[in-house]
A and B are shown apart, each in its own frame.
Chain A
Amino acid sequence: TQLLEQSPQFLSIQEGENLTVYCNSSSVFSSLQWYRQEPGEGPVLLVTVVTGGEVKKLKRLTFQFGDARKDSSLHITAAQPGDTGLYLCAGSPIMEYGNKLVFGAGTILRVKS
């Protein structure tokens, strides 16, 4: 069973602070995706990383895929209240037929103004 361990589970910070969310596994993934989910809604895709060592930036969000494609991180600079939500990492296990996603348990982020 491929597991994605996501940490921290909860994060409560002040507006303007920086934060990093981690996603780790002992398994290798073909790709790794980060989603954001609001209560009662579907996950919204933020980014997909596919190459080991890849770094992608989306405004104040920076995503990194580990060299061995077993881990990833999401860094938010100068967090804003609008960043509040559930962040999920999801990986597509290598050597598995199909493109199923294995999800981490999620990080609930609260940014206080």
Chain B
Amino acid sequence: DSGVTQTPKHLITATGQRVTLRCSPRSGDLSVYWYQQSLDQGLQFLIQYYNGEERAKGNILERFSAQQFPDLHSELNLSSLELGDSALYFCASSTDISYEQYFGPGTRLTVT
């Protein structure tokens, strides 16, 4: 158990809908990262938050947004969903000074 929690475990929704994925980092970790894993693209970095502020951005679609709250949990919002958004979405956390990122169990999103 990495100490990073993610909910829900599975999510099935229709095209055009909007969903919210939630992540709680390890106790004491200030940085939260979101990654997408698909069969054809592998694990891709989406976005990083540090202590409530956006720190780094990857190839995150404009339809996707994230935020980190004062209690340090984070949410990833996916809107106008397309079939191609079906993937595993992982959250990871780290202390600011450590390179080591610890991953949560993931949310499997299926868009039908």
Hey, which bits of chain B sit against chain A, CB under 8 A?
A: 2, 4, 31, 33, 35, 42-45, 48, 50, 55-56, 58, 88, 90, 92, 94, 99-106, 108
Contact = CB atoms under 8 A, between A and B. Distances in A.
Given A45-B103, A97-B56, A103-B43, 5 more contacts: A35-B103, A45-B2, A98-B55, A99-B94, A101-B92
Interface of A: 30-31, 33, 35, 40-45, 48, 50, 88, 90, 92, 96-106
Contacts of B31: 99
Nearest to A91: B99
A99 B101 contact: yes
B99 A50 contact: yes
10 contacts: A35-B103, A43-B90, A44-B2, A50-B99, A96-B56, A97-B55, A99-B56, A99-B99, A100-B58, A103-B43
A103 B42 contact: yes
A50 B42 CA distance: 24
B99 A42 contact: no
Contact of A48 (B56, B88, B99, B104): B99
Contact of B48 (A43, A44, A98): A98
B56 A45 contact: no
B32 to A, nearest CB: 11
Nearest to B56: A98
A97 B44 CA distance: 17
Contacts of A88: 43
